[in-house]
Amino acid sequence: MPKMVFIERDGNRKEVDAPVGLSVLEIAHRNDVDIEGACEGSLACSTCHVILEADWYTKLEDASEDEEDMLDLAFGLTETSRLGCQIIMNDDLDGLTVKLPAETRNMLFE
pLDDT in tens, 27-36: 999 999 999 9
- pLDDT top residue among 37 and 107: 37
Q: For the chain, which residues make up each domain, given as ranges?
A: 3-104
Q: Percent of the chain at pLDDT above 70?
A: 93
Distances (CA, A) of 34 to 2, 37, 42, 91, 103: 21, 10, 18, 24, 11
Query: How many Å separate Cα 39 from the centre of its chain?
Result: 13
> What secondary structure letter does DSSP report for 29?
H
Alpha-carbon torsion 71, 77, 80, 86, what sign? negative
Write down the pLDDT at residue 75. Answer: 85
Write down the pLDDT at residue 105. Answer: 52
The amino acid at residue 28 is A
- pTM, two decimals, is 0.91
Mean pLDDT across the stretch 9-21?
96
Write down the pLDDT at residue 102. Answer: 83
pLDDT in tens, 53-78: 999 999 999 999 999 999 998 988 99
Q: How confident is the model at residue 83 (pLDDT cuts 50, 70, 90)?
A: very high
Q: In the CATH scheme, what architecture does the domain 3-104 have? A: Roll (3.10)
